[in-house]
Amino acid sequence: MYALIFILRASHGRYLFPITPIILIFFVLFLRDGLRNTSFALKTLAVSALFTIGGYFFEINYILQKIILDAFLYSCFIFLIYTYHHRSSHKKVKQLLASTAFGFSTLFAAILFSVKYGQIKLYNSWGLNMECDKISQLIGNGNVWINDIGCGELIPFFRQDMGSNPEWNWKLASWIPKKYMLDSLDDTKTFTYYFKYLSSLDQYISQNNIDTIALVISTSQNKVFPMQDKLLFLQNSSLLKKRYYYRLKNKDLYVFDVIKQGDIIKSY
């Protein structure tokens, strides 16, 4: 049922993680028992190939490379089926070589993805964890507004912000068991708010008692962070006082203190 929902719904590959052990068990059983039944093995490969071909229509890059890799993987399976049913010298060695080639090809694909789009690329482009630990130290304690640079909950994590909403992305239905146990442990102190005019930011600052405004600017020509075009507005605002500017890996951090008079934020 889980796999059916995954297929019918627009899903990320990571959604398969909860059933990865089950998938691995079936895959091992297929290698151990399924390959010995030629008819079953070939039918399984044929159905898998149809799913693979259908997936190409949703690919946007490296299509030729993926076709070559998939063709190689299916060739390894066919070779394994052949070695199971034909006598030949060094049969075990051939099976081991085919299995090893299969394993290294999938490992290579995972590393290539990481280099081009995944963790390795992010590390090379922006530093370890996008340097969120440094950013968290530089902006200090208190309530902070910061633009979204695509690091998820890392900045609240490094700031030990325990006030994150557990339903920040999807609100669970009321009938979900134990939903009542979802609760924030503390008040939120890290905010991300998309504003168009400074007047709306002024109101948001007042409502959430924000002390610091932090804006991360991308210095890379290939990436623009949300809200980074608001830098000039923030610099010219009488509401804010620039604390400092800090250069990080392919990005700059601007930190402003909110000017307050008693408990009233100065208007501008």
pTM for the whole structure: 0.69
pLDDT of residue 261: 58
Per-residue pLDDT band for 268 (boundaries 50, 70, 90) equals: very low
129-166+176-265 carries CATH number 1.10.286: no
Q: List, for residues 5-41, the tens digit of each pLDDT value.
A: 666 666 677 777 888 888 888 888 887 888 778 888 8
* pLDDT score of 6: 65
Q: Identify the three-state secondary structure at position 135.
A: helix
236: three-class secondary structure by DSSP = coil
Please tell me the predicted confidence (pLDDT) of residue 136.
92
Listed residue (129, 163, 167, 169) closest to 149, CA to CA: 129
> Which pLDDT score, from 0 to 100, does residue 133 have?
93
Query: How open is the CA angle 4-34-113, to the nearest 5 degrees?
Result: 55
Which of 145-154, 190-199, 248-257 is the most confident on average?
A: 248-257
Distance CA 43, CA 30 (A): 12
Per-residue tokens: 178 = 């134990």
Q: Could you state, in order of their start, the residue ranges of all structural domains in the chain?
A: 12-117, 129-166+176-265
Model confidence band, residue 98 (pLDDT cutoffs 50, 70, 90): confident
What is the layout of strands, in order, in the sheet containing 190-191? 190-191, 144-146, 212-218, 251-258, 240-248
3-class secondary-structure state, position 210: coil
Q: What is the pLDDT of residue 132?
A: 93
- In order of 28, 108, 190, 202, 216, the CA distances from 259 in angstroms are 63, 53, 18, 11, 20
Q: Which of 219, 235, 216 is nearest to 227 (CA)?
A: 216
Judged against a pLDDT cut of 80, whether residue 266 lies above it is answered with no
Residue 2 burial (C-beta neighbours within 10 Å; 0-12, 13-18, 19+): exposed
In this predicted structure, what is the pLDDT of residue 8?
A: 66
- Higher pLDDT residue, 183 or 146? 146
Q: How confident is the model at residue 262 (pLDDT cuts 50, 70, 90)?
A: low
Q: What is the pLDDT of residues 194-245, one digit of tens each?
A: 888 777 888 888 888 899 999 999 999 889 999 999 998 888 888 888 888 8
The DSSP code sequence of 99-131 is HHHHHHHHHHHHHHHHHHTSHHHHHHHH-GGGG
